[in-house]
Amino acid sequence: MHELGVAGEILDVVLSEADRHAAKKVTSIRLRVGVLRSIEPENLSFLFEHLARGTAAEGAFLEIVEEPVRIECEGCGVSEARAFKCECPRCHGPNVSVTGGDSLRILTLDIED
Amino acid sequence: MGPGGTVRIEVERAILQSADEAAAAIRALLSERKIFALNLISSPGSGKTTLIEALLARFDGKGGVAVVEGDIETEIDAERIRKHGVQVRQINTHTSCHIQPSRLLSVLREMDLSETRLLLVENVGNLVCPAEVPLGEDARVVLLSVTEGDEKPLKYPLVFKTSDLLVITKTDLLPYVTFDVDRVRRAARAANPAVEIFEVSATTGAGMSDLLDRIEALRAAKK
C-alpha cells in the first residue's frame, strides 16, 4: 500500500503547480512511473482520487506512462524489459546491469484557468 | 489555450522531491558533525536489530553510537537497544510503511549528537517503501535472511539496486532451507554491480567480523 504516500506526494506537487498557474481545476496528470517502483496503477488512481476530493485536482485523470526496465548487457548492448531480470532478455547472457526503470515523475498537467 | 479552456503545463518534476530535500538536510547535518550513518532495510525479522547489537558491541568505547528505531507501532526494538546504554529514539510511523526523512530530521535535531560518530537507523520492516526514500545516509544496508527465499532480489529489485551492502543473514540455517546464495548474488549484482555482499550468521558468528570490519572501515573513511 505504498501508493498512499506516493499519491499524497503527487497531490502536493500538483496543487502547488496549480496554485502557481492560478488554475481553477486540474483535469489530467501525466506521470512517468518506472517498473522498478512496484506501483499498481489502479491503486494509485484510487488513492489519488480519494485524497484529491475537495481540492482543485478533484476528478483529475491520472495518465501513467510506464517506463520499462533498462538492461545493459556486456554481450549485446542495451535492451528493455517489462520486469527486472538478471539475465539479458535478448541474448540470455548473465553479465547485465540495470540502469533505468525507477523514474517517478510528473510530466505534464492539464489545467483550466 | 487549448479547446475548452484547457492548458497543458510542463512540470517534469520528481515526485519525491520534498523527501529528497529533507534527506539533503540530514546529509548536511551529519556531514557537519562528522557522523557516519547507516540506513538498515529488510523484511521484518531478518536481523536488523541483531546487527545493530553486534555493531554496538564492536563500537563500544570507540566513539558514540546513536540509534534511531523505526516501527509502525511499539517501542519493543528501542527497549531492546536501550539496555545497551546507548542513546536511542523510537519513531512510530503509524500509517506510513517507512521512515520519512522529515521525521528523522526533526528527531536528529532533538538528540544530543555532540559525541556521536556512528548513527544507526533501523527502518520499518519492509522491502518496498524504505527503498524509495533516501534518509541522507552514508551507506544503505539491505538484509536478507536465508529463510525468506532466494527470489527476493527478483521481486523487490529497487532495494537491491539502491543498497551499498547486502547482508545475507542466518546462514547457519542453510542446510535446512532451499536458498541458492549464488542466485541471490547474481540478481543483486545485476541490480547493482557495485553492491558489497556479506554472508553472516549472528548465531555462530560466521562472517560477522568481516562485515563489522567493513563498516568500521567505511566509518573511518568519512572525514
pLDDT digit string (tens) for B36-94?
A: 999 999 999 999 999 999 999 998 777 699 999 998 888 898 999 999 999 999 999 88
Query: Strands A77-81 and A69-73, how do they pair?
Result: antiparallel
ipTM comes to 0.79
- Please answer whether residues B195 and B189 qualify as being in contact, where contact means their C-beta atoms are separated by less than 8 angstroms: yes
Rounded to whole angstroms, how far apart are CA atoms B109 and B113?
9
Nearest CA in chain A to B192: A97
Rounded to whole angstroms, how far apart are CA atoms A104 and B14?
6
Residue of B223, B117, B204, B210 lying closest to B165 (CA atoms): B210
Q: What is the pLDDT of residues A4-16, one digit of tens each?
A: 888 998 999 999 9
Å from A79 to nearest chain B CA? Answer: 14
Any bridge partners for residue A61, and if so which? A28
> Are the beta carbons of A111 and B9 separated by less than 8 Å?
yes
- Chains A, B: CB contacts under 8 A, how many? 104
pTM score, whole prediction? 0.85
Å from A78 to nearest chain B CA? Answer: 13
CB count, 10 Å around CB of B4? 8
Give the pLDDT score at B2: 53
Using CB atoms, which residue from A4, A21, A104 is nearest to B16?
A104
Residue with grid cell 498512499, as numbered in its chain: A4
**At A31, is the secondary structure helix, strand, or coil?**
strand
Percent of chain B whose pLDDT exceeds 90: 80
**At A99, is the secondary structure helix, strand, or coil?**
strand
Q: What is the pLDDT of residues B132-141, one digit of tens each?
A: 889 999 999 9
> Are the beta carbons of B15 and A86 separated by less than 8 Å?
no
Nearest CA in chain B to A10: B15
Using CB atoms, which residue from A5, A23, A84 is nearest to B129?
A5
Percent of chain B whose pLDDT exceeds 70: 98
Residue of B38, B91, B45, B83 lying closest to B211 (CA atoms): B38
> Are the beta carbons of A104 and B13 separated by less than 8 Å?
no
Give the pLDDT score at B62: 72
Give the pLDDT score at A107: 96
**At A103, is the secondary structure helix, strand, or coil?**
coil
Confidence of residue B223 (pLDDT cuts 50, 70, 90): confident
Any bridge partners for residue A71, and if so which? A79, A98
Rounded to whole angstroms, how far apart are CA atoms B130 and B27?
17
If you count them, how many residues does chain A have? 113
Burial A94-112 (b: 16+ CB within 10 A, else e): eebbbebbbbbbbbebbbb
Enter the C-alpha cell of residue B205.
558468528
Using CB atoms, which residue from A10, A97, A112 is nearest to B190?
A97
Q: What is the pLDDT of residues B140-149, one digit of tens each?
A: 999 999 999 9
Confidence of residue A50 (pLDDT cuts 50, 70, 90): very high
Q: DSSP string of B142-159?
A: EEEETTS-TTHHHHSHHH
Q: What is the mean pLDDT of residues B211-221?
A: 95
Q: What is the pLDDT of residues B85-136, one digit of tens each?
A: 999 999 998 877 889 999 999 999 999 999 999 999 999 999 998 998 899 9
